[in-house]
Chains A and B, each alone.
Chain A
Amino acid sequence: MKAHLTRRYMFSASHRLHSDAMSEAENAKTYGKCNNPYGHGHNYALEITVSGPVDESTGMVCNLVDLDGFVQRDILQRFNLENLNTRAEFVQAVPTTENLCTAIYDILQRGFTQAHLEKVRIEETMMNSFEYAGGKLLSR
């Protein structure tokens, strides 16, 4: 039997939305307040959904200790209480929550092998959220 498991994590980080490919006026027009040169921060909520057959012996899709350990080590330690613009993932890319979704998806896809990665969802504020499923259609 195949089940989907979703775990939610919180982290806080700052960022500034600014693209070197645009003029100052274009940046200001595109990103508005988010273009403030000193940056600003959010409390992000990250939801990771994995899937797989429920193991007969453990009753689990994957052991949460493994997922929590991976996320702590490879995602939260990298981004929590950091300025996203200074991280390697955002040297080339603007740290929008769209790009944060794809960066976190790629980290999980490369390193977390205990279950199939379905999607990554991030709430930047209570009013907006973003989802990425590796280019697959989000049917659910």
Chain B
Amino acid sequence: MVYLTRKAEFAASHYYHNPDLTREENQRIFGKCNNPNGHGHNYTLEVTVKGEVDPRSGFVVDLKQLRDVLHREVLDAMDHRFLNKEVPEFSSRIPTTENLAIAIWQRLISKLNQAQLHRVRVYETPDLFVDFYGEA
């Protein structure tokens, strides 16, 4: 089994707000991230797939195909977007880095036919990242 990681970057804005909570609760839990005008990050995405090395090609996965799926499913939808308003998953879920990693996993899982998705890692800043392994 060999693991291969592809990296991509995107920039997006978001804010944290739960409509089921009061204004004060939202403020207390989310602090500055609760500002409704949003704020932005340069996200770094690392997608790791695993599989056996194809003896004919020497590849775990066709990198071009992986790149195309990443672009179509993630970057086209999220790069230079306001996550709360423009990405459907976040009309009902708060776009925390945790939920972003889960949403990206769910977008990719059905589209990768050659290799098995192992991990989605999303860096919100260089000192904060979330890993999602598809665990329930």
Contacts and interface: CB of A to CB of B under 8 A. Distances in A.
User: Are A and B a genuine interacting pair, yes or no?
Assistant: yes
Interface of A: 1-9, 49, 54, 57-61, 63-65, 140
| Interface residue tally on B, bucketed by range | 20 to 34
Interface in B105-136: 119, 126-133, 135-136
Contact of A5 (B30, B93, B102, B130): B130
Interface of B: 16, 18, 20-21, 29-31, 93-99, 101-102, 119, 126-133, 135-136
28 contacts: A1-B132, A1-B135, A2-B133, A3-B98, A4-B132, A5-B98, A5-B128, A5-B129, A5-B130, A6-B129, A6-B130, A6-B131, A8-B128, A49-B131, A54-B99, A57-B20, A58-B18, A58-B30, A58-B94, A58-B96, A59-B95, A59-B96, A59-B98, A59-B99, A60-B98, A63-B29, A64-B128, A65-B31
Classify the secondary structure of A's interface with B.
mixed
Given A57-B18, A57-B20, A59-B93, A8 B127 contact: yes
Contacts of A1: 102, 132, 135-136
A59 B21 CA distance: 13
B131 A3 contact: yes
B78 to A, nearest CB: 16
A60 B96 CA distance: 7
A85 to B, nearest CB: 28
B29 A58 contact: yes
A134 B75 CA distance: 37
B15 to A, nearest CB: 12
Nearest to A45: B127
Nearest to B20: A57
Nearest to B96: A59
- 7 A-B pairs closest in CB distance: A59-B94, A59-B96, A8-B127, A4-B131, A2-B135, A54-B98, A3-B98
